[in-house]
Structure 1
Amino acid sequence: MFRSQTSKAGFTLVELLVVIAIIGVLVGLLLPAVQAAREAARRMSCSNNFKQIGLAVHNYHSAYNQLPKQKTGTGLDPTTGAWWDGTNVTNQSQLSWLVPITPFIEQQAIWEQISNPLGFELSAGGGLVPRTPSWTAMGPKPGSNYVYPPGMTELPSFRCPSDPGTGLPGMGRTNYACCLGDSFSKAESGAVNQTLVVTSADAEWCRAGQRGAFVVHQKMAFRDILDGLSNTIIGGEINTDLGDRDITTDAAIFKPVKATPSICRTDGSVDPQRPRFWASGTNTIIKAHGSIYGRGYQWMTGEHLHTGMMTILPPNSTLCYQGEWPGQEGIAPPSSRHQGGCHVLMGDGAIKFVTNSIESGNQEAHMVEFSRTGISAPGSKSPYGLWGALGTRASKETVSEF
């Protein structure tokens, strides 16, 4: 009697390898789509955060009939010689525009800490310990220490999810900055001298050069934006520094950018093999003074390295300084981790995405300044094309579409 044999079904090694190869191809095709979808979600969240800041600015204006001030606070410490000196007694009137709007973005708790005397500080381990004497209301000069709790608090509303920077040496990072216009002439001090006293000479230079929606130390309002709220940028997105010598987050120093804004791109400062980074020999603020001076590291600080931007160079261009310190003047373009451009906040609260290729006029033209004549004379239209025109509040320039 014969017994039949049944063969067992199975995959051969070749068939298994083919299946694995097909799965690998499908994953390779799918992964970029998944990453793109994630970035699209992060970009949308970033835009929504900026939208909430825009609404907060409008609500603040409705309450106080003015925009939140860039560089405001409790005046000069009489024991110091100048506003740039560190002190725990006052904040030297160096608070950023983001501080006054905290109650309008559901951050009442942090505002209560800032606006009242605070009897705690951060310990070396990150916890809170009692402090005697207490911090004065509105806090110390921002950025002068690592122990003032509100200054070290990172607020999600001020962060873009696409930016991976976090933690030290940052002191509470932010990705959103106010627009200071198309010139940095007097952008750091405005109409005041080193002791915060308004002088006629400083005021004259400030009126000529400071043409944006925000002017440091000065009360500004929507009524000052004569070009129209929908035609004027009042804020822009910025990257925070990752410690990698990125041209958008670490400022090259001692550059004649007032005369030639594009100088950092054309004088060999940028690595030709890696154009998003500085060449090894380029001197920068971080290289000269330490890692605490990265872009966007201090949300409470009114210096434009941290909370200001300009419409001189187009988005994601070089961060390039005339001097060597954050408290000195330099070109601070907006920037982002999004592909091809960055978000800006318009005066009417709209969020627009501006590409790196926006028309930006003559990048070798001297910026508008009191002492200049010709195309850079006070009152002239922006030498930086459409991009510059969007950053000025009252230059009578027509902006149709961008």
Structure 2
Amino acid sequence: LIALLLPAVQQAREAARRSNCKNNLKQIGLAHHNYHDNFKCFPLGVRRDHAGGWGVSWWVGVLPYMDQAPLYNKLNLEVNHSGYVGNGGVANRVTVPLMVCPSSPMTTFTHDTGGGWTLRPHYVGISGATNGNGFTNASIHNEYAYTGCCTSVVAGGIKARGGVLLQNKCISRKDIIDGTTNVIVVSECSNYFWDVSDNPVQVNSNHGWMMGTADSGETGQNRTFNLTTIRYPPNTIDNTLPGVGNNDGPNNGIYSPHVGGVHALLGDGSVRFLSENIDMQTLRRLATRDDGQPLGEF
């Protein structure tokens, strides 16, 4: 009898965890819209700090709207490397529940920032999609080869600027020409990848939730953390693909431990479960705010 009941119990528990994950994204979406109400745009995806060091990611901007105002108030956004060692002591071993998918098998912290332990978030911002049929360079906003630091880890990567969470630029609702119901803002990065030796690898934000970029402007060839450019289908977990790596691959993709697909937060605040078999053309269009193309079913 126990053997018969155990699978049902496990399925019920996973259903509850999956529901919790979906609710996390709904709350993250609400935080983005509250931010927009105050600042008339969504947060910068990542930014460089004033001294040219590693600035912060979009996570920092939405902290006050995720019931994390006390944590936000402890951060010094004027210090050099504000998204890195400058606030390492503040972020050390701090858990933000909305950043964690309860189904994820991965470790919670990365030993990095200023010698401390920083939370690895299980959700990633979408900066756009690589080129494909029906896309012009204008709608992709200057995709380019990723040739900056650590190319041995993430060679062949492409970063696009056609999404909602971008480098050193904030996007407003009026910029989302396709409509907020037709664009992904955030999705999951909550499972392991696999290397050539079939060993599990964590590629989700190797430097934690605060890390942004050290590049100025909207372009640049340095790394950008906590953002990804859609290039591969959901749940593609091959660590050997171009642009994929743990330091920090611009095409790490969207992936989860949930059977069959991943959760995705849309621009209107709703959350959809995207099938891992979704048409790539549809996925690219979902990741692009202004391509002007019909989506089809998803």
The aligned residue for residue 231 of structure 1 is 182
Q: TM-score, normalised by structure 1?
A: 0.58
Compare CA radii of gyration and give the structure with the larger one.
1
After TM superposition, the structure 1 = structure 2 runs for residues 152-191 of structure 1, keeping only pairs within 5 Å, are 152-164=93-105, 165-169=107-111, 171-183=118-130, 185-186=143-144
The one of 197, 206, 211 equivalent to 1:301 is 211
Cα distance in structure 1, aligned partners of 2:108 and 2:254:
19
Partner Cα separation in structure 2 for residue 104 and residue 217 of structure 1: 21
Unaligned stretches of 5+ in structure 1?
A: 1-25, 78-91, 116-135, 195-204, 241-245, 248-276, 287-292, 361-384
Equivalent in 234, 240, 254 of residue 315 of structure 1: 234
Q: Does 1:347 align with 2:259?
A: no
Q: Does the 8 Å CA contact 1:187/1:210 hold for their aligned counterparts?
A: no
Q: Distance in 1 between matches of 2:93 and 2:46?
A: 18
* Pairing 1:5-20 to 2, within 5 Å after superposition: none
TM-score w.r.t. structure 2 length? Answer: 0.77
Quote the residue 1:379 is aligned against: none
Whether the 8 Å contact between 1:295 and 1:305 is mirrored in structure 2 is: no
Shift of 1:151: 5.4
Deviation at 1:162, TM superposition (A): 0.8
The residue type paired with residue 167 of structure 1 is F
Alignment of 1:198-213 (within 5 A): 209-213=160-164
> What whole-Å deviation, never above 9, does each CA across 1:1-34 have from its counterpart, x for those lacking one?
xxxxxxxxxxxxxxxxxxxxxxxxx111110110
Q: Distance in 1 between matches of 2:172 and 2:145?
A: 18
When residues 234 and 305 of structure 1 are mapped into structure 2, their CA distance, relative to the original with a 3 A threshold, is same
1:35 partnered with 2:17:
no
C-alpha separation in 1, matches of 2:235 and 2:55: 26
Structure 1 residues 315 and 323: alpha-carbon distance in aligned structure 2, compared to 1, 3 A threshold: closer
Sequence identity of aligned pairs in percent? 29
Q: For the residues of structure 2 that align with 1:76 and 1:138, how far apart are their CA atoms?
A: 8
1:305-352 deviation line (CA, Å, top 9, x unaligned): 75123332111113534497736x631211111111110000000000
Gaps of 5+ in 2: 112-116, 132-142, 150-157, 214-222
Contact between 2:205 and 2:246, CA under 8 Å: does it hold in 1?
Answer: no
1:148 Cα deviation (Å)? 2.1
Whether the 8 Å CA contact 1:315–1:356 is kept in 2: the answer is yes
Q: 1 or 2, which has the higher strand percentage?
A: 2
**How far is 1:57 from its partner?**
0.1
Q: Is the 8 A contact 1:180 1:187 kept in 2?
A: no
1:264-279 correspondence runs (5 A): 277-279=194-196
Structure-1 separation of matches of 2:101 and 2:265:
14
CA separation of 1:350 and 1:326: change in aligned 2, threshold 3 A:
same
The verdict on how the C-alpha distance between 1:305 and 1:237 changes in structure 2, with shifts beyond 3 A counting, is farther
Q: Say which is worse superposed, 389-398 or 303-312, in terms of deviation.
A: 303-312
Matched with 1:326 is 247
After alignment, is 296-305 or 350-359 more displaced?
296-305
How many equivalent residue pairs? 261
What is the alpha-carbon distance in structure 1 between the residues aligned to residue 62 and residue 2 of structure 2?
A: 45
Q: Indicate the residue corresponding to 1:95 in structure 2.
A: 56
CA distance in 2 between partners of 1:146 and 1:350 (Å): 32
Q: Does structure 1 conserve the Cα–Cα contact (< 8 Å) formed by 2:129 and 2:230?
A: yes
RMSD across aligned C-alpha pairs, in angstroms?
Answer: 3.2
| Structure 1 residues 3-402: aligned runs within 5 Å | 26-72=1-47, 74-77=49-52, 92-115=53-76, 137=78, 140-144=81-85, 147-150=88-91, 152-164=93-105, 165-169=107-111, 171-183=118-130, 185-186=143-144, 209-239=160-190, 246-247=192-193, 277-280=194-197, 294-297=203-206, 298-302=208-212, 306-317=225-236, 318-319=238-239, 320-322=241-243, 326=247, 330-360=250-280, 385-402=281-298
Structure with higher RCO (Cα < 8 A, 6+ apart): 2
